[in-house]
Structure 1
Amino acid sequence: MSEDPDFDMEVVEDDELDELGADGASSSEETVRSDAGNPEKGYSSDRRAQNQDSTTTQKGPIPSNPSNKEDGEARRFGPFTLDVPEEWRAERQGKVKQLFTRGKQPTYAEDGVPVINQECIYWNDWHFGNLRFLDREEAKDWPEKYFPKKDDIILNSTGQGTLGRAQVYPDEERRAVDSHVTILRTTDDLNPYFHRYFLESNLGQALLYSMCVNGSTGQIELSKTRLDLMPVPIPPLPEQRKIASVLYAVDQAIQKTEAIIEQAEKIRDGVINGLFEIDGVEKVSSPDYNSPRFQSILSRREETWEESERERWEAAGEKRSIDSTKYTSPLGLGKKRLPELPDDWEWVPLDLFVAYDIDYRGKTPPYSDAGVPVISSGNLQEGKVVFEDPRYVSPSTYDEWLDRGVPREGDLIVTTEAPVGKVALYPEGKYLPTRRIIVLRTVGVDNRYLKAAMNHPAVQNYLATQSRGTTVPRILKDYLLRTPIPFPPQKEHDQITEVLKHLDAKLGKERSAQSRLKRLKTGLMQDLLTGKVRTADKAIDVLDEVVEHG
């Protein structure tokens, strides 16, 4: 896939596109330059220049835009230049519109006419489960323009992170739109799926956020006037349909993968959640640790503590003898009335399994631009550690700070603040654990099972009730270690763990496939929607869904 698109934008204000604001775009992916205020270019840095309704068409290279192709067409929209292939057009959206209108703020009712709001519109699909309702009598007074028609583009119009999401209205169902949503109805020049994919692309999002947004961070909204002025490429309609069909097919593959992931997650959650009901409760006492099974766990617990303590001081570069008096026995259960368990199961405190806790809470290291990634509570998402916006410490900082224990792959991570009770397994590699998490080294239980058990509603309820603080809930370490864990006989424990292991492997495989498909889609949008790669002469089956919409 290409790294640089064929669109070249010259921007009025340097700070408007410091970050393009969508889908991981950066200035290296979209060529963004500013010739504002340069008298030789005839541009003004005043935003009013951006709103001039003058456009010029010029074949071949424009002096101020040396990257234009000899055989292409470049159109200048005020300070912006949009470079397209010779067979394509470029127009302001206002030139191809039938209707651009924001919705109206309704008085919501329990039932009535469905109302589309921003929570209904995501890039992956419509989420009509989030519809709200307008009183039917009030709806009779609403103008028809607030009710979208099939093939309209429905565009989220307020709020950082939500503004700019768009979908094609899929049917003839009568629904209204609220004041945070905009209806875009264009002429037959634009296939709605092509238009929607352009809006999703890095360039489309960059243009929306740089040209069409009013307000400050967190309080932004689309300007309908500026939306009219935003340029859009217009290939011949057959080529639009081919481009839309390719991207639609990738979207369908992504949605199928997401459905598999969702189903596997439901099965995984049900493995524990379905084992016992939480309606009946019984009074429980701390377990009898004299049984051979518990004696074995306690013996391994102390051995692992000594081993981890020795590892800690070695990592810190200190030679110390291990002070065995610092080893502590397990704490008792933090709650005495708990749901009934199946026969031969029993409630035990989390601390029974915790041989060593690695706790770097309260320490914020000096960050660097590269080096060793940091793990904090924000990195725990959907039961795994992710690094969407990673922070780093230098290798020297890592060596200096690692004085409270050395985490290992497979250790259990638990968030203790903002929010409480998220769990994940420590990933392979070198990382520095920091604020709002604690890393637990366990014995006598598989951490896949322990992670699932801690997600059981009864356990999550305990963690919630033991948390303190209104603005930022947090749990003290002793209360965390007293967390009641449902503990099955060894045979059932092993069977459950095998099922969880299989599901985790399946989820990992499907999530990797999902990531690959999303990267493929980003690359295809960058190439196809800019004309960098042409589809006009390619044998591409146009999907019925795309033809149906224009």
Structure 2
Amino acid sequence: MKAQDLKNSILQLAVQGKLVPQDPSDEPAGELLERIREERAELIEQKKIRRPKGGESVIYREGNSWFERCGKSEPACIDDEIPFDIPESWEWARLETVTSYIQRGKSPRYSSIEKYPVVAQKCNQWSGFSLKLAKFIDPDTVASYAEERILRDGDLLWNSTGIGTLGRMAVYDSHVNKYGWAVADSHVTVIRTKESWLDFRFAYLYFAGPSVQLRIEDQASGSTKQKELAQETVRNYLIPIPPIEEQRLIVEKVNELMPLVEEYGRLEDAREKLDAELPDRLRKSVLQLAVEGKLVPQDPSDEPAGELLERIRGERGELVKQKKIRNPKGRESVIYREGGSWYERRGKSEPVCIDDEIPFDIPESWEWARLESLCRVIVDCPHSTPQYLANETGYIAIDTNCIDDRWHQTDGRNLSKESYESRVSKYVPQIGDIVFTREGSIGRSVILARENVCLGQRVMLMSTEPYALYNKYCQIVLSSAYAWLIYKKANVGTGVKHINVATVKSLLVPIPPLAEQRRIVEKVDQIMKLIGA
């Protein structure tokens, strides 16, 4: 059961007389109402309260039905209005007949002088009453407010207009009003009770409960854009009346239970948050386990990554001599293990210990290498905005908006053949190349699955050496928690944050044997399908 459903159940049980037992020694509600009617008659005679339109309502039970008599009119059966059964010692009454004041506020003349606050709908939240968002009345108009309009402790403040806010209620509390004075605006109805007639806290429980809140819009007038609860509708609301002592016991019981419901709600929110985050957490954990060599077992029959890299370095050396690829800046990186440490040598320079760069241990058959040493090419996007076209042309550009965080290409932006050719003059993207976002939504990647694609803005491209670094395994590394920590540290820029191409080129990549890279990719795909990530 949801926390809100549990709260609604408690409120409904409370106002149906099922939360606390009835005490036969309590004064029955019928006698309470009789005394209220006598006191109201005196107040009406003294013109301190208004006489109800159509005369005072008297509701009584006869047999299995409920009847209402207003003034001297004939009784009418109101069974179709009665929302639920109540105990024998309880009665039903119209709200107006058990309260001393029901009145909509009035539209004020506002002022920038923060002295006399006016309670608007936004001041009334289910979490409580607050004047943090209140506006203020022109001090010159304060004298025009009758004494009865000045809010008092225990006044029920009921939002009487709006969509979504209609029916929201709060209780006025002078302790949270540092101004010592407040009135309601025209969107709020003030309901005032007398302590010996109706406990305002019980009334609040009833009007906050599902029997009222689930039906309130049906009882309001207006359109789907604006609903309004007429003042007469509020006055004529039926409310169950327990004996006055039982009203107080009900309030105490609800107050005792609500902290438990709130705690239940916090646990529910935490669980729902965990449920929502779990696939992403699992995805991150799986990717990290993958790049640490902990997702699939190592196979001794696989060619060790060291031999693989040695062969690739030989092939790359030949390509450099033939001027088919460029030598990396600072010469080719060679990373090797010696004793318990890792060293890097570039060209003929002296080896340097890079233990402080190594983020985690890897299996014996694995090696570390710079990403640049594992790619045929790593290129940045042209630093210009292409001329995009509305119609499909067969040529598209990919930018950060076209790649989601699950390795999917979600879109592409059309451009002319001429624009496309100008953007691929240095390198023509191929099927299987990786496009990587380095600005804005950093760290997303996609493997190209079609031709005639070029780079839009804020992305870069890498073409991996297929016999050294499987492109799908490369994606796993680029998306791992390890890589994200590097992106976060390298995030630069005063406006939109970005990472430099040099940072990506120098990324240390844990290299398994090529066959193991493929097994890792297969296992990751299987797990991602299972967890829906």
TM-score by length of 1: 0.41
Indicate the structure (1 or 2) with the bigger Cα radius of gyration. 2
